[in-house]
Structure 1
């Protein structure tokens, strides 16, 4: 009974009511507050940066506790430079419990401590703005000429397809494209301004074979399927052919320099148009892992014969991008590399061992 009651009432988060200041400077005192069920907890200990600090139970009825249905415990710790972590230990009559970001439990895992980085600041303009998130493929089709077409290439074992705007979603929808694009966002900026939108948050827009684009193929360029296709060919995959080296239309669209440069310019225009309406633009960056289509690894060999591209790390053990990834074997065409959660379609980027990768990503930023 006591555990269930405590579990339903206990609370702490990183807002100013429970952590003050929310983002401390190194050496600054941080006041931590914990709410619990009334008369269930005998004592509470704050464990901050490895140090145990007994917490004081507040006795005065405050505005936030005017119903007198909760107990509040409070204590301070001094923030260190870098990441501060903390959790709570609660002693009750019948049990000892711990509280962290996962909630209440009878055991503790330090991976789930509350964390705050000293001096980590966020821009003032972002506080309180009205933000509108756009999943670009599903927003508005402003340029049908850049739409993905049926059988343009294979993705996760099957051919991609184009969906009509009125069609419902499929069970496996990552390779169906409705045709939304950046021109569609530009076309709707006046509408967004009238809604009172102050910032746009765009899901990933870099070259990628999926509609969600969290498996980035080229960090240097906006996907021409969202941008501009200047040069094109007609060759798509034939039935039952999943070999993307035969996907000539896709290869042309995503490797042609004019297509890539024109797409980048269209994005720059979107930003200018948005700024002229006092709307800021944020793009989603995915830098923990990329996709197996990525030009740095090129497992699909999209870039193998394309002009102006270095060999990918899958294609050649001598690739300049080889140390961008962790390969188990020093051979060409090696599929044994570290992937996000073990998925070989999502190669993990090797920031730990590659300063070249680190510098490359910073240059993109």
Structure 2
């Protein structure tokens, strides 16, 4: 048998419906070469379901079987018996001699992810560094102190973040700035905004939340600086008094919440969704529940904090080292950081209810957010058992409030236990996207801490990690919504990684992150990002050529008026290609070619197909790529959608012809190609208007 002709995945062409409900009759389809198989069985547990030959097309036979999948996870593989007497198994790896349990296909009845999120183009905004639309809400220099450093207003928008004090440096970016740039995002092709934390917090990154109930007025609106004079600040710290007045003032908080609701509404008018960062594992030492810094000590309307008051209603929200007064003995901090007190859910049902309420609040009227990105989600709680219990309840309650909300977790390592259909929808795809793409194209790790030349151009490692390691984690609903980033707020900018320079801004000058970069490698990465299954997610400024080592240098400002115009134009074209080709949103994927410094893969459905080819060699090559396994005609014609090399990129629509199922492709050095076959473009006008084309009798 020709095992290269075998194919099945969990897309709509081979599993219908692709996200079946509990007890649904579901149609499974398997493909092989015409006349090759004598029998095909779908195997689930001890049951062997015989499949029936139902269609022959383009030299392939399609076998079908309909099964009631019940209510439990439906785990299956295929067994194929050839007319030549040969025998093969088929699981997520393809044709194999032995089935691997973790690589069997898995359907979870009743588990679906939002349709809008599948393949959606996302854009991550670190608000303080994106755009300053309202200078009147800026943090003032010396307004308060945090971790021994005074808050600083940065006057030079283009200056580098200080690696020692960046957490309390403020450039002034805010929600008004985002509102002002929504048309820019729409024009770029963005479909979802992912905001880094927005809630009240003393830091620029806001992963140390002070008040989950409100948007920070320094991101929102400061309508008045007034408020009661706090006795402890009358003489000692007038600046801190001003901060307290600003961030506890109800008018400021309400105005900021109202502005955020407007941002979401205006984004929705432009068909842009909005998801929030949910930092629920820990809060900040400034938090009104702990109040280590005495922010809320004498503010009207706030209870005493657990750090200072024996009778605080929030005492059980935290794990103190002793359960008696004084409570300001040491408390449990995330990774030992005393500015990030870990929340003690097991100790307080009230805390759990409160955070669940926060999860529901922001996806409901009047804010109407479209979901959550969950920070360090697997760390929440003090046991894995409780962690799963919490996220099951969180999912249930949030989905009741907004059935179309997505629940997307930050997680490193295996995530299958949380992607069971009862907890998270999907994850930030570090393990099966960011890291393997970085290894293949640059040999660097995602922090720029290490360079391994042996990884550069290792196409076998690339596919094994992207396809097969990812296959162990994901079912189809999770894979097609996974957040595929090249850069973000925790890792070095991808463009800096292309220099293969090891270091951070505390060991190298920040300016060195901009030197030695190879823009053609960045373009190759974006080609992969915009054509791989999942939700391609831009980190603000990547499209404009922003560089930077890892945190905090990766949090530079967006260079308005100084963008890399070519890089920006390239991103816009690749986003357009991604959105115009349905097979790139929800189609199948298949490895087509893998050798050192060269690889090619295909994305396809029954009507169209994309070939992506990347040449990392410093010389021209010609490779014969078998494209017939995508199910296309053996004499198909591909249109060039994009070609990029060391000089730039080109979208001229040249044509390349397939001969006997093989695409012979000549590529100059350091090149990337995106080519497309469309069956509708191959149809003549006479065929299109004929009754037979539409299947009429």
Pick the aligned partner of 1:343 from 313, 337, 359: 337
Give the TM-score normalised by structure 1: 0.68
| Contact 1:274/1:280, CA 8 A, preserved across alignment | yes
The CA distance in 1 between the partners of 2:329 and 2:193, in whole Å, is: 38
Task: Classify 1:116/1:250 alpha carbon distance in 2 versus 1 (closer, same or farther; 3 Å).
Answer: farther
Deviation at 1:29, TM superposition (A): 2.6
Task: Classify 1:61/1:359 alpha carbon distance in 2 versus 1 (closer, same or farther; 3 Å).
Answer: closer
Pick the aligned partner of 1:318 from 307, 311, 316: 311
**In the alignment, does 2:241 pair up with 1:248?**
yes
SS where residue 252 of structure 1 aligns?
Answer: helix
**In the alignment, does 2:159 pair up with 1:167?**
yes
The CA distance in 1 between the partners of 2:130 and 2:76, in whole Å, is: 44
The CA distance in 2 between the partners of 1:347 and 1:23, in whole Å, is: 42
**In the alignment, does 2:301 pair up with 1:276?**
no
Task: Classify 1:127/1:29 alpha carbon distance in 2 versus 1 (closer, same or farther; 3 Å).
Answer: same
Partner of 1:155: 146
Give the TM-score normalised by structure 2: 0.37
The CA distance in 2 between the partners of 1:273 and 1:122, in whole Å, is: 24
**In the alignment, does 2:205 pair up with 1:212?**
yes
C-alpha RMSD of the superposition: 3.3
| Contact 2:143/2:243, CA 8 A, preserved across alignment | yes
Task: Classify 1:131/1:331 alpha carbon distance in 2 versus 1 (closer, same or farther; 3 Å).
Answer: same
| Contact 1:149/1:161, CA 8 A, preserved across alignment | yes
Identify the structure with the greater helix proportion. 2
SS where residue 218 of structure 2 aligns?
Answer: coil
Task: Classify 1:311/1:64 alpha carbon distance in 2 versus 1 (closer, same or farther; 3 Å).
Answer: closer
Partner of 2:129: 138
Deviation at 1:332, TM superposition (A): 4.0
Q: How does 1:21-60 map to 2 (within 5 A)?
A: 27-31=72-76, 59=88
Partner of 1:331: 325
Displacement over 3 Å in runs of 4+: 20-26, 58-66, 115-121, 243-246
Partner of 2:252: 259
| Contact 2:176/2:220, CA 8 A, preserved across alignment | yes
Deviation per CA, 1:96-124, whole angstroms, max 9, x where unpaired?
A: xxxxxxxxxxxxxxxxxxx9998554222
Task: Classify 1:185/1:74 alpha carbon distance in 2 versus 1 (closer, same or farther; 3 Å).
Answer: same
The CA distance in 2 between the partners of 1:296 and 1:134, in whole Å, is: 28
Partner of 1:74: 99
Deviation at 1:61, TM superposition (A): 9.8
Partner of 1:291: 284
Q: Highest CA radius of gyration, 1 or 2?
A: 2
| Contact 1:200/1:282, CA 8 A, preserved across alignment | yes
